[in-house]
Amino acid sequence: MTQPTRIRRCHAGHLWQGDGWSREGIFGVDAEGMLQAVEDGPAETLGSWVLPGMPNLHSHAFQRAMAGLAERRGRMDDSFWSWRETMYAFAAAIGPDDLKAIAAQLYVEMLKAGYTQVCEFHYLHHQPGGAPYAPAEAMSLALVEAAREAGIALTLLPVLYMRGGFDGRPLGARQRRFGHEVDGYLRLLESLRELEAADLRVGIALHSLRAVPEDAMQAVLASGPAREGPIHIHIAEQLGEVQDCLSIRGARPVEWLLDHADVGARWCLVHATHLSEDETARLARSGAVAGLCPTTEANLGDGLFPLVDYIDAGGVLGIGSDSHISVSPVEELRWLEYGQRLASRHRNVAARHEGASVGQTLWRAALQGGAQVAGLPIGALQPGHRADLLVLDDGSPLLAAREAPALLDSFIFAGNTPLVRDVMSGGRWVVRDFRHHDEERIAQRYRETAQRLRRA
């Protein structure tokens, strides 16, 4: 991996600056992998089109290895709940070494696709049956090691998972390796926060309202670790979850959360698919981020997020690849828009005024929301931010004769040929000419792991 010099100048023909493309952008990268302002002068030319790397705000890394293995119809009506049983069975075979191999392969794929940071919503804590590993944080450490091996920035979100439903039932046999009580969970957080660095942030994840009782949620939110940093939660993904919450807590999930917690800009409400008009408006006003995962939500048959009403209310959003049935920010954004087109029978839905670009609208929104709930200085090519950037393939026929106004629309909507040529993460080139610097070794270890899991 190429090591950065003390300050090196970089030049882009066009540099994405949030509100549009600037021409002839020159910036510096320091020895810590941070962007710095520099004077004009000799500089390394990166390419014609340079973008900030995309944050991936929701990931369950281990599920990458089961992508494609749950696509046969069962005897019952298939849904999220039947898929979950397949996932539990798969998760039961995975240990720390397996998780590291799977996650490293996934993170290489993310980098090559244009993600330079990932929020890992991590609940696979213990051994099957619930006994702790030694050390207790072994599975979390496997993710940290995998992220550093691949070269991607990581926001690690250890998950509090306590109960099997809104009625308070205990965890089932296949859920026990996910579980913590509040004291043990807070000890895990404190241990992991000692590892924080420029490429690692540790936040809080509450699995869901059905898995975390109200008193436990309030205890965690009142604790020291919750006073700063990101807070993520699955919410309102399934209609069954909404109905159970109404039955037992007397309110819809997002409504209940907004009434019982100080939800603000540090929060990411993952999925939030099934919202009333009032919940949509209140969520937008809160400043929290709606964490949308369109390819997973489509794969699981979840439903469609009320995108138009949320954007019109000023809501903040980001994207994640979740179960990794697809690992592509382009596809997440494409299907975020296409789902709305299919439902409304109109085009260019996310662009809310005449002449606006759908590609620019969605890329800008996903950068903002992802950076906001990652807890790291990312998402912009500005001094003081991590040098996380993508260089597009300006020689691709898909970008031929494209000027700045149409560039992001073509990147997202013009085809499936990979267009991310080079990727810099934390000031280091991790992908050059479409290849990750260590992808052969990481892929071979992953293949061996997948074969072993198949036999398990």
Q: Give me the DSSP letters along 298-323.
A: HHTT-----HHHHHHTT-EEEE--BT
Q: Check pLDDT > 90 for residue 157.
A: yes
- Nearest C-alpha neighbor of 36 from the set 3, 56, 60, 9: 9
Helix 277-286 and helix 253-260, axial crossing angle in degrees, nearest 10: 40
Instruction: Output phi, psi for 168, to 5 deg.
Output: 85, 10
Q: Cβ–Cβ contacts within 10 Å for residue 384, how many?
A: 10
Q: Which pLDDT band holds residue 280 (cuts at 50, 70, 90)?
A: very high
pLDDT, tens only, 102-116:
999 999 999 999 999
Q: Which pLDDT band holds residue 118 (cuts at 50, 70, 90)?
A: very high
Domain extent at residue 418: 8-52+379-439
Burial class (CB in 10 A: 0-12, 13-18, 19+), 76: exposed
| Structural domain includes residue 405 | yes
Instruction: Output phi, psi for 240, to 5 deg.
Output: -60, -35
DSSP string covering 161-174: ---SSTT-PPPPGG
DSSP 38: -
> Which amino acid, 67?
A
Q: Check pLDDT > 90 for residue 76.
A: no
Q: Which residues contact 272 (CB under 8 A, 6 or more apart)?
A: 235, 236, 254, 283, 290, 291, 292, 305
Judgement on whether residues 231 and 364 belong to the same structural domain of the protein: yes
* pLDDT, averaged across the chain: 95
Could you identify the residue written with the tokens 């109905």? 243
pLDDT of residue 19: 87
pLDDT of residue 4: 45
Residue 395: give its domain's CATH number: 2.30.40.10
pLDDT, tens only, 61-74:
999 998 888 777 87
pLDDT, tens only, 196-254:
999 999 999 999 999 999 999 999 999 999 999 999 999 999 999 999 999 999 999 99
Judgement on whether residues 125 and 230 belong to the same structural domain of the protein: yes
- Given a contact cutoff of 8 angstroms between Cβ atoms, the answer to whether 245 and 270 are in contact is no
Q: Check pLDDT > 70 for residue 1.
A: no
> Which amino acid, 91?
A
Q: Which pLDDT band holds residue 456 (cuts at 50, 70, 90)?
A: low
Is 271 a residue of the active site? Answer: yes
Judgement on whether residues 365 and 387 belong to the same structural domain of the protein: no
Q: One of 98, 302, 322, 393 is an active-site residue; which one?
A: 322
Residue 322: give its domain's CATH number: 3.20.20.140
For residues 352-381, give the mean pLDDT: 97
Judgement on whether residues 241 and 355 belong to the same structural domain of the protein: yes
pLDDT of residue 384: 96
Return the structure tokens found at 318. 């980001």
| Structural domain includes residue 216 | yes
pLDDT, tens only, 316-332:
999 999 999 999 999 99
Is 11 a residue of the active site? Answer: no
Q: One of 60, 122, 271, 324 is an active-site residue; which one?
A: 271
Q: How many residues does the chain have?
A: 456
| Structural domain includes residue 445 | no
pLDDT of residue 408: 97
% residues pLDDT > 90 (the chain): 88
| Structural domain includes residue 271 | yes
Give the SS3 label for residue 67.
Answer: coil
Judgement on whether residues 182 and 192 belong to the same structural domain of the protein: yes
For residues 361-388, give the mean pLDDT: 97
From start to end of 80-229, where are the E strands? 115-122, 153-160, 200-202, 204-206
Judgement on whether residues 369 and 385 belong to the same structural domain of the protein: no
From start to end of 44-152, where are the E strands? 44-52, 54-59, 115-122
- Given a contact cutoff of 8 angstroms between Cβ atoms, the answer to whether 139 and 125 are in contact is yes
Judgement on whether residues 130 and 262 belong to the same structural domain of the protein: yes
Say how many Å lie between the first and final Cα of the chain, rounded: 35
% residues pLDDT > 70 (the chain): 98
pLDDT, tens only, 12-49:
999 999 889 999 889 999 999 999 999 877 899 999 99
| Structural domain includes residue 452 | no
Judgement on whether residues 318 and 383 belong to the same structural domain of the protein: no
pLDDT, tens only, 245-267:
999 999 999 999 999 999 999 99
Instruction: Output phi, psi for 161, to 5 deg.
Output: -140, 115
| Structural domain includes residue 100 | yes
Of 347, 374, 401, which closes a domain? 374
Q: Check pLDDT > 70 for residue 3.
A: no
Judgement on whether residues 412 and 274 belong to the same structural domain of the protein: no
Number of domains in the chain: 2
| Structural domain includes residue 353 | yes
Distance separating alpha carbons of residues 42 and 202, to the nearest angstrom: 38
| Structural domain includes residue 34 | yes
Q: Which pLDDT band holds residue 439 (cuts at 50, 70, 90)?
A: very high
Of 374, 403, 429, which closes a domain? 374
pTM for this structure?
Answer: 0.96
Helix 138-150 and helix 96-113, axial crossing angle in degrees, nearest 10: 30
Judgement on whether residues 258 and 157 belong to the same structural domain of the protein: yes
pLDDT, tens only, 410-434:
999 998 999 999 999 999 999 999 9
Judgement on whether residues 194 and 284 belong to the same structural domain of the protein: yes
Judgement on whether residues 224 and 326 belong to the same structural domain of the protein: yes
Of 374, 389, 420, which closes a domain? 374
Q: Where is pLDDT greater, at 186 or 83?
A: 186
